[in-house]
């Protein structure tokens, strides 16, 4: 009997943990934390282990809170879409009050953790939550411009690390912000292309033209080009303390060309398979680009 009760308790704890990961979108949160840590390591200051832990914890809390609020707001729409109908709230595994409690607690913990780093970091973290939940989320069913608005909180993490390390916002974190800002468009439009039918069930307007057409693909190409240009600008010595060697810039440029190749492929083929390849290429690009930046600084 005790064994059965113990097994049941273990299973229940696993389900609770699984739902917590889903309500906070753990994979997305970890990728955001990675971007923040990369931004911190790029700053011209000695690496502080405690600061890194505070940034990682605070960053996860802020992203987790944003996602929890988002799932509370969109719970009825999530129930309509195949990709989201099994989330904790629409599936009935988690109540709205529980999700709101998680969101509020994570917001408080996140702001406090980031405030221990400095007030500017806490401010930008709070701004990202506000923009994501109060502007981006409601706009998703109103206009494709929601992606433009969502690109602002989405671009904050990379620059947040620099601000956390230096307590200063200048051209360096501004450049990091712009890299991730322009990256958002090809990434999310590729995702929106793949999931267009499902998004329409929830009434979401994610593609810039509203259609999977050449106009959308052309905008993806243009934003990808801007992303590549800004990603190599630090090699020209005009971004203050943020610098990049010619070798590193060449590697980043070549990686960007791979992403651009899939963007052109999408323009030609206009199918979901190519959109998926572009989406995966974009995920690889942002991760590898940040790794190249960090390695280049330390060698």
**Tens digits of per-residue pLDDT, 106-144?**
999 999 999 999 999 999 999 999 999 999 999 999 999
Q: Are residues 129 and 22 in the same domain?
A: yes
- Write down which residue in 146, 168, 190 finishes a domain: 168
Domain membership flag for residue 294: yes
Give yes or no: residues 64 and 158 share one domain: yes
Give me the CATH number covering residue 96. 1.10.357.140
Residue 249 in any domain: the answer is yes
- In this structure, are 146 and 68 located in the same domain? yes
What's the sign of the alpha-carbon dihedral 61, 65, 71, 72?
Answer: positive
The pTM for the full model equals 0.90
- My answer on whether 159 and 36 are in the same domain is yes
Q: Strand, coil or helix: what is 74?
A: coil
* Single residue among 137, 168, 199 that ends a domain in this structure: 168
Same domain, 160 and 268: no
DSSP per position, 82-144: TTTTTSTTTTTSS-HHHHHHHHHHHHHHHHHHHHHH-HHHHHHHHHHHHIIIIIIHHHTTT-T
Read off the tokens for 192: 């929106």
**Judgement on whether residues 272 and 288 belong to the same structural domain of the protein:** yes
- Domain extent at residue 108: 14-168
In a shared domain, residues 133 and 231: no
Question: Residue holding tokens 């960090």?
Answer: 294
Same domain flag for 147 and 291: no
Give the model confidence (pLDDT) of 43-82 as tens digits: 999 999 999 999 999 999 999 999 999 999 999 999 999 8
């Amino acid at each position: 009997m005790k064994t059965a009760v113990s097994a049941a308790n273990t299973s229940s704890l696993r389900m609770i943990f699984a739902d917590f990961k889903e309500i906070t979108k753990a994979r997305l949160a970890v990728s955001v934390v990675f971007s923040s840590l990369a931004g911190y390591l790029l700053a011209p200051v000695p690496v502080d282990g405690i600061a890194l832990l505070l940034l990682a914890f605070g960053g996860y809390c802020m992203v987790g809170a944003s996602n929890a609020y988002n799932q509370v707001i969109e719970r009825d729409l999530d129930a309509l879409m195949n990709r989201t109908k099994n989330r904790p709230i629409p599936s009935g595994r988690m109540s709205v009050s529980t999700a709101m409690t998680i969101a509020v607690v994570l917001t408080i913990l996140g702001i406090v953790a980031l405030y221990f780093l400095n007030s500017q970091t806490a401010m930008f973290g709070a701004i990202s939550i506000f923009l994501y939940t109060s502007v981006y989320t409601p706009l998703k069913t109103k206009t494709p411009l929601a992606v433009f608005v969502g690109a602002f909180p989405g671009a904050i993490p990379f620059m947040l690390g620099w601000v956390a390390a230096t307590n200063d916002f200048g051209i360096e974190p501004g450049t990091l912000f712009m890299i991730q800002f322009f990256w958002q468009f090809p990434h999310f439009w590729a995702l929106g292309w793949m999931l267009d039918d499902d998004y329409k069930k929830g009434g979401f307007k994610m593609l810039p033209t509203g259609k999977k057409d050449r106009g959308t693909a052309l905008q993806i190409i243009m934003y990808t080009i801007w992303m590549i240009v800004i990603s190599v600008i630090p090699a020209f010595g005009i971004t203050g303390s943020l610098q990049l060697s010619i070798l590193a810039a060449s590697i980043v440029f070549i990686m960007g060309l791979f992403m651009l190749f899939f963007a052109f492929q999408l323009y030609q083929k206009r199918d979901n398979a190519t959109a998926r390849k572009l989406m995966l290429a974009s995920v690889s690009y942002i991760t590898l680009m940040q790794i190249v930046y960090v390695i280049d600084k330390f060698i």
